[in-house]
A and B are shown apart, each in its own frame.
Chain A
Amino acid sequence: MSTTVDQLRALLSRVEERRNGPRLRAVPAAVAATPAPANEVRPAERISALPERKPPAGATPLENAIAGGLSPTPVPGNKPASMELDLDDFEAPQTAVSKAPVASPRGGEVAHRAAPTVPQTDPFAGDPFASSPPPAPAAKPAPAPAPAVARAPAPAPAPAPARPAPTPAPAPAPTAPTARIAAAEPSASAPVARAMTRARVETPRTFGELLDLSLSLRPRD
């Protein structure tokens, strides 16, 4: 076994020498101990730099890896650990590994999907329509809206003060969009929907007019 290691070490050393030249055979201690210039990248940062991605020169890491991998571990029975391995020893790890890939993606997927829809205990603590951040938590507005549970339509709605029905109103409310303005880009040949508004509704020609019309709406009392 030791012969093999020595041969491998010699072979590696020759390969390194042929590839990198004799200067990489051994790093002089004086060079290694020389402090880096102020503008030089420190070793920890060299990992991400492209020119440094080649394997490190010198045989030291390989040497350690090989020696560590081939040295038998002494056991109480005075036998190398590798001699006690049997095929049965691998059964348990195999079954354990076979379960992991199945369970893990499912769990992860469920967790990801559930994350955005986590019920919020206090979904509307502040004013989401405000363009400036809310004041300190102590100055929370008094009429805080009900939590998410109350979002569903209540079976017995609060007595609305003479709520006007939509149909008998003088100007019946639309039950469908009166016009749909879509982007012309995805289907340039498709006809842009025209405003099929009622006669009483103005047809804004510009985006500014369209906005003004909508922003002028207020709740009817």
Chain B
Amino acid sequence: MTTGFDPGSYYAFDLARGSVVTKHGERVLVLSTATVGPLVSLAVKHGDLTGVRALGKRIGEDAIRSLGTDVRDATPEAVVTHASGTLAVLGFGALTLERWGEALVIDLAGAPPLDGEQLGLAALLGGLLTSLGGRDIACVPVADNARFLVVHPQVAEEIWTWAKEGRSLPEIVARLGREAA
């Protein structure tokens, strides 16, 4: 039985050393979004969001430790509880999962503005789900703000093109079908 997310003592502030460490022992920086935003925008411009994706993976590993059980066998609600809590204490917004038919959509309410195309957040969430799912997963920002479609990386590019053409989330979901076994 999984427990709820415990945000208490997530951070340890060591003023003598001038460091902030999470309860999992990882040293972190507290940065303004006005600082991180341009950095992420620059990464988007250069087409290399590996660092942001790696950050998402670390967040996912934190969520797994917080969950304490096997992620794949846990209920969706339990996973969302811990993933959302971990993202929230880092200031990345409130995560909710939505099912649109067979498609899985992430709604990240109150997310910080990092880049205009939301690709930074998409990379972050892709890394998070990759950790949680144990395999490569991509998240594509769709027309609706702060919504990300969870897809296989092979089809991410095509779905991103649809989203850039202005297709709405229902339209995009309607154009997807289950892969033949």
Contact = CB atoms under 8 A, between A and B. Distances in A.
B160 A126 contact: no
A129 B138 contact: yes
A181 B164 contact: no
Given A116-B34, A116-B37, A129-B153, A153 B165 contact: yes
A66 interface: no
Nearest to B6: A185
Nearest to B45: A120
Contact of B85 (A163, A183, A217): A183
B99 A220 contact: no
B132 A217 contact: no
Interface in B140-181: 140, 150-153, 155-161, 164-166, 170-171, 173-179
B48 A126 contact: yes
B46 A126 contact: yes
A173 B101 CA distance: 7
Contacts, number: 239
A219 B174 contact: no
Interface in B77-106: 77-81, 84-85, 94-105
B144 to A, nearest CB: 11
A56 interface: no
A177 B98 contact: yes
Given A129-B126, A207-B71, A116 B151 contact: no
A87 interface: no
Contact of B104 (A118, A134, A185, A210): A210
A201 B75 contact: no
Contacts of B104: 210-211, 213-214
A119 to B, nearest CB: 7
Nearest to A122: B45
A195 B99 CA distance: 8
A133 to B, nearest CB: 5
B44 A128 contact: yes
B96 A182 contact: yes
B160 A185 contact: no
Interface in A120-172: 120-134, 140, 145-146, 148, 150-154, 157, 163-164, 166, 169, 171-172
B123 interface: yes
Interface of A: 112, 115-134, 140, 145-146, 148, 150-154, 157, 163-164, 166, 169, 171-185, 188, 192, 195, 197-198, 201-202, 204-208, 210-211, 213-220
Given A152-B166, A166-B170, A207-B76, 6 more contacts: A126-B46, A128-B123, A132-B50, A157-B165, A164-B174, A173-B174
Interface of B: 4-5, 33-34, 37-38, 41, 44-50, 53, 71-81, 84-85, 94-105, 107, 113-117, 119, 122-123, 126-127, 129-130, 132-133, 136-140, 150-153, 155-161, 164-166, 170-171, 173-179
The 6 closest A-B pairs by CB, nearest first: A126-B47, A153-B166, A208-B72, A173-B174, A116-B37, A214-B104
